[in-house]
Structure 1
């Protein structure tokens, strides 16, 4: 009932996004001078961690209930990628913006109607519930894809963090991806036009204003519309984004209101493949080939909103309360995962209509206190939170099975879908918690100790598909601790370590399972990590070692998903960022992973490597300001992933792959307007490969060589 009431209120508010945007866009832009050519974008809004040298990453990020923390003082590995990096890479989605993080890998192609990724070898965002947080909270971001138009920062907190961030809606444990939304800083009016192969283009308007005697009021509007043919054969996509951020920054009271609307419509979207048992993985097809029929389609609409408030009772005591939620609607007609039958690439597919609605509501509140006991400083946070989700689904029977081939796709006549009536309830869950954490610091923050505990509760109900009758339920709670330590023997060096546990909602059975959509039993994931962080002012690095253990779901002999497995992933991470010289910037690193199955339904699989966990992931990006005309920059990136197994028996594996990206941009002033031209080629060599493996063994083909062009003008 609460979720339905929220949906009605939010639908009325979001309609005003573009109306306000048109009014703000008519205001005059700031003067631009030539000596500001190298500084693109606005200054950081209040409350945002400043950018690090080079401007590609920030100096810190959000650690859940601990708030924003300087990376050198955080007992966890965290990376925060800036709006500058997002725009310079012309990244359309959150997933694309994380390509230079060696701990993160996309497991889908750009032609798919959803983003899925893995962090530290553990998958996320593969089913109906979004694993991406919005300003530190789940339940507001779009479920399937998050376009980057409204992203000021994209943060990755690595490792299980339910004790800090709350239970992830879909049970991800490898890390938390958090989008910090754009809000008003300096006055801004920016128009961006872009084009990508084969014939897809569009525009974006980004405008911000502050007003009031102390500039305490702020508004930011972001709107974009894109459409056209993609690099994949007979595929087209139309997307639209509208976002409004209002804020008030008073002396003691602060408030932020965010509204977000997003639509994504595909004709002939790419789908993941599954492999018939016993069949070796065939070579990957040419990236442009599309095995989806031209009449198969996907329509996804998302609406979300968040209200955040803070009030300083004293200079050392702050109360906060947040209320947010979102709704996702999906209608798509295609088979979720066609089956590859042999090494020749023959495959079978059966189109199915899939209708989904997901309603989410999140509420939290608490207090933050700062005080001293002797020479020890305390930063204490007490928080209570609730996340509720309701899912309705209609999944029709398949009809019109057809054969095709990976290397010679076959087109067939239109097959009419079987539509369902309404969206019968399919699952619901409530994730609630009470948390307390204290960061103790001493010796001028040379020693920082974080202690915390979260009492978590997971309630879930599963219902009979297409019927809505209750099938199963559970209610489980646990207290999970977090301990983190940072020792800074020198100003430039931080030694850190952590031990953290988190109760998570169980995996969701994939569409390829007979019990697809069922929420499996909850589990506790655990991590131990230690490492060193170095900050030399212009260049920084993090080296960490970790071990994560997690129960997991498996597809059994009858193709039913069940929580019968467990795995352990140990790893080493090296991250590098910053400026080597004033003209040369680097970003990237390497991650080494060692995964092992510690429990399986089939004893013969014990000790095998988990599905989708490679041995090595490496990413390295560089930017070079070319000599000659000021404002001309060359950039490039190399991304590598070693082989990954598709099955628990470790008999089917995707080969390793590497990709090269190159780009060029030119920042100048035209008619007193700062203007930036960008051109890029992704997958320069046109490599054909399988991108990655999801939890239950499905995988995608790569994208072909893709050309990107854009022009941004600050009015």
Structure 2
């Protein structure tokens, strides 16, 4: 993304942050030396807003933290945030990234990359990421028809006007060895600059007989035509090939009881070594930033993307709680998708009678078209967790039988009004139009329209009051509109598309900076959303009643002392279904929604022991997941669990960094989540074991 020149801060202890320098160097915010803090950031269509003056709950994970913690997938990268819960596994058959925020799906195939929606069938690469911006909760005004839970924006590393180079190598995930080169600098000084990342990994995962192969090529060019116009070209291509996939444990045949995870071993191959997942993706972006006048600028971008995916996995259908199961093979014919995204926005900074306006207006677009085929499903035979039986593949799905085409158009008008250093207001309206067409098996219900169109005005308003420069109090209201879900292949009403729906969010909070180095946040929220679920009593996917989620978020990021860094959070929440026609769902907590969750990440820099050139840092972390229901009514739950992490980091000057990280230090056995969707197995895919103890080790050399 292209940034304006400066961002203001009312904190006298905080320096003015020049975001133009951040775009060029990528080093002005989010550094370990400053506790991985960010003072300002983009908030949707609004550019360069001080985070203390944003009437929304936002968090930023820096690229340096991603690297230092040994994260190579989004789940590990977002692990530090207590507001985010994973819904997919990097080792699963889908190779997709889904998370829950505030108990709702967030960025469900609608992650953002540099502010443009980036639907994906493959995990977003972490190796070219400068930071991850997370908006907690409803984002309708900012992005139109979108996921209710929140928005996750992956901001890539930017071209540099000075030469930089880094070579990294290491191992993670059980035995995945990798190499990574990150290069940047001027091609023509002050005129044409670049950033280039190339990455490759190959080896074994922590599951017996499982292997993974991934390659990434990513690049960015920035061309300064003159003092007013800058052009950007960004691209990436990623190939992912997994074999010996992780196995879900379906619990429909045992009445949705949740067996004790201690009886299972996450390193065992409960499925088959021949299972696979192949995914590839190519994305190209074009961008322009033009300073039309002193206080008027235009920014535009256009993205095209192509991706495909094919997989074959084995699900374990438990026949009793002791670990006996039948193996069910599921083979995908493939998923192909083309995507487009664009924005054309004008930014105007105005001053009327001493009141400052940061005005943004324009157009944004999201489009995609995909085709896929019916899965091939076959029962292979019986097995047991204590005596695993192996079977050959019996077939492969072929051909496409359904297609979906979606277009979203947004006309946006937003204004951030600064009345005084103590009082500001953020408000806007998004006129959003959704046009969706269903073909093939998606269009088999005569009672459902195969061409769905809907438009809506989506408002947002928020106020911020700063009683003192380092404390902000805010309140906001935002609506959201989301396209209805589609019943999965295993549902009785397979492929039926639900109607779009409107949700409401009310939020209030306090943000404070303590000692000039520690950022604190406390937020209360309430979201009301149409309830969608797969009814276990009749296996029908339906809309019924409202989901009402309300809770509290506490976050802390920064340095407690000059040597001790903390990133922590706690999110207790009450979630229930209300106004449901089915009495069995009334007052129940939706599937997979935790009653609370918490994170704690600490870094302690030891006193210098070999001179100023050497630095040693000790790392520790704890991750708590509250209990989560797997059924409605709430008869059975995933039990709560706490895992612990530890690590060491050694740095020599600014040249060499060595990281050693251990995740799940005590090798806790636990269920990471329950997937109630279905790729052909009646009753859903089932339970997935959490990662066992894993070690990551890396060496980085800067030159």
TM over 0.5, yes or no? yes
Q: Identify the residue that residue 559 of structure 1 maps to in structure 2.
A: 539
User: Does the residue aligned with 2:274 lie in a helix, a strand or coil?
Assistant: coil
User: Does the residue aligned with 1:605 lie in a helix, a strand or coil?
Assistant: coil
Select 2:477's aligned residue among 496, 499, 502: 499
Q: Identify the residue that residue 699 of structure 2 maps to in structure 1.
A: 711
State yes or no: 1:543 paired with 2:522: yes
Q: Identify the residue that residue 10 of structure 1 maps to in structure 2.
A: none
Select 2:674's aligned residue among 693, 698, 715: 693
Q: Identify the residue that residue 626 of structure 1 maps to in structure 2.
A: 606
State yes or no: 1:420 paired with 2:431: no
Select 2:231's aligned residue among 249, 255, 269: 255
Q: Identify the residue that residue 655 of structure 2 maps to in structure 1.
A: 674
> Would the alpha carbon gap of residues 676 and 387 (structure 1) be closer, same or farther in structure 2, given more than 3 Å must change?
same
Q: Identify the residue that residue 182 of structure 2 maps to in structure 1.
A: 206
Q: CA deviation at 1:519?
A: 4.0
CA distance in 1, matches of 2:58, 2:285: 24
CA distance in 2, matches of 1:77, 1:623: 24
User: Does the residue aligned with 1:144 lie in a helix, a strand or coil?
Assistant: coil
CA distance in 2, matches of 1:157, 1:409: 46
Contact 1:458 1:522 in 2 (8 A): no
State yes or no: 1:121 paired with 2:111: no
TM alignment of 1:374-413, pairs within 5 A: 374-405=353-384, 407-408=385-386, 410-413=388-391
Contact 1:424 1:467 in 2 (8 A): no
Q: Identify the residue that residue 3 of structure 2 maps to in structure 1.
A: none
CA distance in 2, matches of 1:469, 1:144: 30
CA RMSD of aligned residues (A): 2.3
Q: Identify the residue that residue 647 of structure 1 maps to in structure 2.
A: 631
Contact 2:534 2:676 in 1 (8 A): no
CA distance in 2, matches of 1:420, 1:124: 31
TM alignment of 1:96-115, pairs within 5 A: 96-112=76-92, 113-115=95-97
Q: CA deviation at 1:570?
A: 0.4
User: Does the residue aligned with 1:481 lie in a helix, a strand or coil?
Assistant: strand
CA distance in 2, matches of 1:143, 1:516: 21
Which deviates further from its counterpart, 482-491 or 286-295? 286-295
State yes or no: 1:660 paired with 2:644: yes
Which deviates further from its counterpart, 368-377 or 689-698? 689-698
- In the superposition, the TM-score normalised over structure 1's length comes to 0.88
Contact 1:107 1:699 in 2 (8 A): no
Q: Identify the residue that residue 370 of structure 1 maps to in structure 2.
A: 349
User: Does the residue aligned with 2:65 lie in a helix, a strand or coil?
Assistant: helix
Q: Identify the residue that residue 123 of structure 2 maps to in structure 1.
A: 145
Q: CA deviation at 1:286?
A: 1.9
CA distance in 1, matches of 2:304, 2:247: 29
Q: Identify the residue that residue 499 of structure 2 maps to in structure 1.
A: 521
Deviations 1:552-600 (A, max 9, x none): 3221344232233420110100000101111110001111111011144
Select 1:311's aligned residue among 280, 290, 295: 290
CA distance in 1, matches of 2:184, 2:103: 39
CA distance in 1, matches of 2:144, 2:236: 22
Q: Identify the residue that residue 579 of structure 1 maps to in structure 2.
A: 559
Contact 1:427 1:518 in 2 (8 A): no
Q: CA deviation at 1:614?
A: 1.1
CA distance in 2, matches of 1:115, 1:271: 17
Contact 2:110 2:120 in 1 (8 A): no
Task: List gaps (5 residues or longer) in structure 1.
Answer: 1-41
TM alignment of 1:18-33, pairs within 5 A: none
Q: CA deviation at 1:408?
A: 2.7
State yes or no: 1:684 paired with 2:665: yes
CA distance in 2, matches of 1:639, 1:582: 24
User: Does the residue aligned with 2:127 lie in a helix, a strand or coil?
Assistant: helix
Contact 2:213 2:242 in 1 (8 A): yes
> Would the alpha carbon gap of residues 712 and 517 (structure 1) be closer, same or farther in structure 2, given more than 3 Å must change?
farther
CA distance in 2, matches of 1:409, 1:611: 31
Select 1:282's aligned residue among 249, 256, 259: 259
State yes or no: 1:194 paired with 2:174: no
Select 2:216's aligned residue among 231, 241, 258: 241
Contact 1:462 1:518 in 2 (8 A): no
User: Does the residue aligned with 2:487 lie in a helix, a strand or coil?
Assistant: coil
User: Does the residue aligned with 1:262 lie in a helix, a strand or coil?
Assistant: strand
Contact 1:279 1:342 in 2 (8 A): no
- In the superposition, the TM-score normalised over structure 2's length comes to 0.89
Q: Identify the residue that residue 477 of structure 1 maps to in structure 2.
A: 455
Q: CA deviation at 1:601?
A: 5.2
Counting matched residue pairs gives: 659
Contact 2:244 2:273 in 1 (8 A): yes
Deviations 1:179-215 (A, max 9, x none): 00111234211111011253220101110112435x2
Which deviates further from its counterpart, 646-655 or 53-62? 53-62
User: Does the residue aligned with 1:418 lie in a helix, a strand or coil?
Assistant: coil
> Would the alpha carbon gap of residues 608 and 578 (structure 1) be closer, same or farther in structure 2, given more than 3 Å must change?
same
Q: Which has the higher contact order (CA 8 A, sep 6+)?
A: 1
Q: CA deviation at 1:453?
A: 0.6
Q: CA deviation at 1:345?
A: 2.4
